[in-house]
Structure 1
Amino acid sequence: MSTSEQAKSKRNLKPLWIVLAFASLIIITFLPNNSDLPVAGQRALAILAFAVILWVTEGVT
């Protein structure tokens, strides 16, 4: 597979990764709150998961 074909197939998956990143953000935000983890910590974990998914998959370039 040439590099242009690889870039094209990678580009086609970007919207999917963005949607999955937002889905993980929303799901983690609305999970039941654990008594050991404050709400701010839960929100921070949701943002971290969102950022890591976008970073690793290069969903936004």
Structure 2
Amino acid sequence: MAKLQQNGIKPVIVHGGGPAIKDMLEKLDVPFTFIDGLRTTSAAAMDVVEMVLSGQINNIMTRK
């Protein structure tokens, strides 16, 4: 990453959190559905998605 940045390239890391999000939605009993393999995200589910991605997944990624 540092080498890319030194050469003027601005990398973007896109991380998923599907399994962790699904687990937390189920744990908190927040309803969710999948349509053609894609999760439809209600406002309540989006709060959980944000919590998981910013709290759990982001911490894992920044430690590596």
Structure number with the higher strand fraction is 2
Do the structures match in fold with TM over 0.5?
A: no
TM-score tier, shorter chain, comes to 0.3 to 0.5
- Scaled by the length of structure 1, what TM-score is found? 0.34
Structure number with the higher helix fraction is 1
- Scaled by the length of structure 2, what TM-score is found? 0.33
